[in-house]
Homo-oligomer: A and B are copies of this chain.
Amino acid sequence: MNEHTRFMEMAYQEALRARDEGEVPVGAVIVRDRQVIGRGYNRIEALSDATAHAEIIAISAASSTAASWRLEGCSLYVTLEPCLMCLGAIMQARLEAVIFGATDPRYGAVVSHIYRNEIEEAYHRFPSVTPDVLADDCSRLLKHFFSDLRKKN
């Protein structure tokens, strides 16, 4: 198993925790020097907070571990392509790389919608992006969640 797959597996485990709590199953981990320094999963409903995405929670946790808001040299692994808010948080926290699982054609802000030119103009940088790591597993988890939700309603 290569390194990307190994850390995405950990993000996937976080996504399972979200699912088990009835949240849209998205999970994230932040890695520095091959060590996980922060984890998070979607907790929008539990916290009644639209900002409680897996990525934001993982960034807060990693910053706490690092005792710094600057996460240079860190990589974010997340099971779903980040939205605009999370991409903005990635820029603010100066994360170096984003590795994601499933693509989000509607809200995805990293490859699905093209905010990149404006971002590079503002910040003079953009993280490296690796899509499609364990994409089938990450995507299937989301599809089953929404399919089960529809059955309940």
Contact = CB atoms under 8 A, between A and B. Distances in A.
Interface of A: 44-45, 47-53, 56, 59-60, 63-64, 66-71, 83-89, 91-94, 106-107, 109, 113-115, 118-119, 121-123
Closest 10 CB pairs of A and B: A85-B88, A84-B88, A50-B93, A50-B69, A50-B92, A49-B63, A113-B118, A85-B89, A88-B88, A51-B89
B63 A93 contact: no
A119 to B, nearest CB: 7
Given A44-B69, A84-B88, A88-B83, A51 B121 contact: no
A122 B118 contact: no
A119 B112 CA distance: 12
A123 B48 CA distance: 20
Contacts of A121: 113
Q: How many copies does the complex hold?
A: 2
Given A106-B122, A118-B115, A122-B106, A70 B50 contact: yes
Contacts of A66: 48
Contacts of A93: 50-51
B84 A51 contact: no
A122 B94 contact: no
